[in-house]
Amino acid sequence: MKILYYSPHPTHDIVSEVGYATHQREVINALRKLGHTVLPVIMGGTEKGNLSSAGIPASKNSIKARIKKFIPRFIWTSLKDFQLMKHDVSAAQKLEEAIIAFQPDLIYERSEYLQDRGVAIIKKHRIKYFLEINAPFAEEMKGFEGYSFWHRLAHKKEQNKNDNADQIFVVSSALKTFIENTYQVPSSKIFVQPNCINFDNVLIDENRISEIKINYQLEGKKVIGFVGSIFPHHGVDILIDAFAIVERDFPNALLLIVGDGSILAALKARVNSNGIERKVCFAGKHDHKAVFNFIATMDICVMAKSNWYGSPIKIFEYGAMHKPIIAPNTGPVKDVMQNSVNGLVVDMNKEKMAEAIANLLKNDDFGKTISDKFYADIAQHYTWEMAAQNILKKVN
């Protein structure tokens, strides 16, 4: 089968070490492994050094930042959205050129905010149309950027894509319910496909693991770990407060935080205010491939916080490393994890998190049981090749 994979966003490339790029790359590779010809039409770029999002001079960024101070947020957000819609016109033209040249049997689109011009092109050429949705885009962007003049139009564009897609794939049951209720889409048209992992990418270096243990003095410690970006909505502050409770009863415990972000300085100050600076290691940011070496040093892995709709890839990375996991009590987590069966699913406040950490510190056998179960579940249900198979099952 000839499949055209379409991603219209102007900056979402396919090669970066971020979630959207990984998702696109892995779906395409999995479809190819299953014997299909896939043409990526990725507006954000397909090769390093040739990305639409790259190369903005620092001077322009500083000018942009100064201008933003004098423009109301509503106007700035609306102008950005208008530029996105202008881009959508040119993206649709490139899509049609690719359709004519490639003659695909199926178009698989990664849905993006304010981008729907491709729908008319796909209908014009009468090609089967699958749509992948990873977020409630209009509401998500309102939360991130504030209200835009184009907010109602954004919903109309989502409606247009949902109405015309032959099949819709979403990453969580919570997102499925949202789309059903908001856009009146039949349940039978929507398939829940959580994020996955490619075990071929889970590589470790024993020498590097030894170096990490020496550098951060992890030998003989019970290591509680977090890996990820450090932003306010990721809940690392809650983890720090929970660890401050736990370490009183478990003096051998140590907290290892791997990543960087906007609130790193504030988190270090929080560690100091809790008086646990000798028990917390900030390892900084590392390439994604190197992160598995850090996970290998951890005894317990924590996904500190997550939103109500997104499928967190991080828990699959923890699980593929055979680690017991503490994860937030959200719909997407509960799609793949049962509390005390293949992980600990808890309300993410410091008391509940501290209780979960202490539970695992006291009971190694229990930790091994739930980590073994989640590893088996991932291997059986949550690889990208299985996701590709689920996509293909909907073709006929």
| pLDDT tens-digit series, residues 113-156 | 999 999 999 999 999 999 999 999 999 999 989 999 999 999 99
**What CA–CA distance (Å, rounded) separates 88 from 83?**
9
CB 320 within 8 A of CB 378: yes
Among positive and negative, which fits the CA dihedral 152, 157, 163, 166? Answer: negative
Chain mean pLDDT for the chain:
93
pLDDT at site 232: 82
**What CA–CA distance (Å, rounded) separates 378 from 314?**
12
Token pair of 290 as six digits: 């190197």
Query: pLDDT digit string (tens) for 199-211?
Result: 999 999 999 999 9
**What CA–CA distance (Å, rounded) separates 14 from 33?**
18
**What CA–CA distance (Å, rounded) separates 78 from 21?**
26
pLDDT at site 63: 62
Local confidence band at 158 (pLDDT 50, 70, 90 cut-offs): very high
CB 358 within 8 A of CB 246: yes
pLDDT at site 64: 60
**What CA–CA distance (Å, rounded) separates 250 from 221?**
10
**What CA–CA distance (Å, rounded) separates 164 from 221?**
55
pLDDT at site 293: 97
**What CA–CA distance (Å, rounded) separates 322 from 374?**
8
Query: pLDDT digit string (tens) for 160-171?
Result: 999 999 999 999
Closest by Cα among 65, 91, 179 to 132? 179
**What CA–CA distance (Å, rounded) separates 185 from 396?**
20
Residues 354-390, buried b or exposed e (16+ Cβ, 10 A)?
A: bbbbbbbbeeeeebeebbebbbebbeeebbbbbbbee
Largest CA distance in the chain: 67
Phi, psi of 165 (to 5 degrees): -70, 140
Among positive and negative, which fits the CA dihedral 281, 197, 194, 136? Answer: positive
Lowest-confidence range among 43-47, 101-105, 315-319?
Answer: 43-47
pLDDT at site 289: 85
What structural domains does the chain harbor?
2-193 (3.40.50.2000), 200-381 (3.40.50.2000)
**What CA–CA distance (Å, rounded) separates 391 from 337?**
22
**What CA–CA distance (Å, rounded) separates 253 from 222?**
5
Q: Is the pLDDT score of 56 beyond 80?
A: no
The single-letter DSSP state of residue 28 is H
CA-only gyration radius of the chain, Å: 22
Mean pLDDT of the 268-289 span: 93
